[in-house]
Amino acid sequence: MHAQVTLPWFGQPGGALRFSIADDALTIRDLLVSGVLRRIATGSSAR
């Protein structure tokens, strides 16, 4: 995984974290199945 801080763009302030997968051969599903990532519930998506 790579993480970077977003830059201001089109009048938006930027400063958010942007994550990307370092290996183009991997998908989000691959990372979930292997346990590298896990699902979490937040706010209105909490069940």
Q: Mean pLDDT per segment of 10 residues, for the chain of length 47 residues?
A: 94 94 93 92 72
Give residue 45's pLDDT.
60
Residue 1 is predicted with a pLDDT of 81
pTM of the model: 0.54
pLDDT at 44 (0 to 100): 74
Return the pLDDT at 47.
57
Domain assignments of the chain as residue spans, ordered by start: 2-45
User: Distance (Å, rounded) from C-alpha 13 to C-alpha 3?
Assistant: 18
The pLDDT, as a whole number, for residue 43 is 82
